[in-house]
Amino acid sequence: MPLIDREPDDFSSDVGTRALSVTAVENDFVARVYEKLASSYDLIFGPTLHPGRLVALDRMGIKAGDRILEVGVGTGINASLYPKNCTVTGIDLSTSMLDKAREKVAKEGLRHVRLFEMDAANMAFPDDSYDIVYAPYLISVVPDPVKVVTEMRRVCRPGGRIIVLNHFRSANPLLSWCERAISPLTVHIGFKSDLDLPGFLAQANLKPVSIEKVNVPKIWSLVTCIK
């Protein structure tokens, strides 16, 4: 199992209460951003972020019959990666992104995948519904990351996996300053560049079994937790 990357301020006294980002967004803003990105998302973010998606799928350890929830399914870029002996539910807030996902699912005949328009912070699923709950490249754009992960934990069964793939603020002071400075701009292309990992983990009450850097450059983190 990969070692957990420790941030230098993991244990600072304010980690459980400090602001996770300098940038605040609302659902309407997020929806508008992704409505605009829907037609170009795969081209812009497809190949660049794909290695992280493959590592995430590997870390899931999917077994036959597993129930998987992908939170922020977007254009369905992951849909064909899942084995057909499991069931996959994908949710997203963006109608345009979901339209692209539905086209992919229909074209590729992915009968084990179903899609719903839904707010990740207020899911319409019963408790303990899924074996694996996965949020790829989502947490840094939603208005309330902690609320989203609370919902992810609620719908995950005891012993199931909660997996977050995301960019978090660097531990390097200079890079961290830069990420804070540009965060109000990066939200317009779909993410906050300065989301604080130690604060996020503490406030979401997540206890990772692994944190590993993925993609090139390795500025994205794959966080794997067991409920």
Domain limits for position 120: 27-226
Longest dimension (CA), the chain: 52
Q: Record the tokens describing residue 196, joined without a space.
A: 């604080």
> CATH no. for residue 89?
3.40.50.150
Residue 4 counted as domain residue: no
What are the backbone dihedrals phi and psi of residue 21, each rounded to the nearest 5 degrees, phi first?
A: -155, 155
Domain assignment present for 137: yes
Confidence at 5, pLDDT banded by 50, 70, 90: low
Domain assignment present for residue 3? The answer is no
Name the residue type at position 29.
F
Q: How many domains does the chain have?
A: 1
Contact 224, 134 (CB under 8 A): no
- Kindly provide the residue ranges of all beta strands, DSSP E only, lying in the chain, ordered along the sequence: 67-71, 87-92, 113-117, 130-136, 156-167, 208-214, 220-226
Q: How far apart are CA 52 and CA 211, in angstroms?
A: 12
Q: Which two tokens stand for residue 67?
A: 């129930």
- Is 90 exceeded by the pLDDT of residue 14? no
pTM of the entire structure?
Answer: 0.93
Would residue 11 count as lying in a domain? no
DSSP code at position 56: H
Specify if 79 maps to a domain: yes
d(CA 98, CA 75): 6
Tell me the mean pLDDT in the region 197-219.
94
What average pLDDT score do residues 146-158 get?
97
Q: How much is the average pLDDT of 180-204?
A: 93
Q: Is residue 81 part of a domain?
A: yes
Q: Is the pLDDT of residue 11 over 70?
A: no
Both tokens of residue 113? 């995948």
Per-residue pLDDT band at 15 (split at 50, 70, 90): confident
What span, in angstroms and rounded, lies between the C-alpha atoms of 220 and 5? 12
| Inside any domain, residue 187 | yes
Matching residue, tokens 């990066």? 186
- Please indicate, yes or no, if residue 172 is contained in any of the structural domains: yes
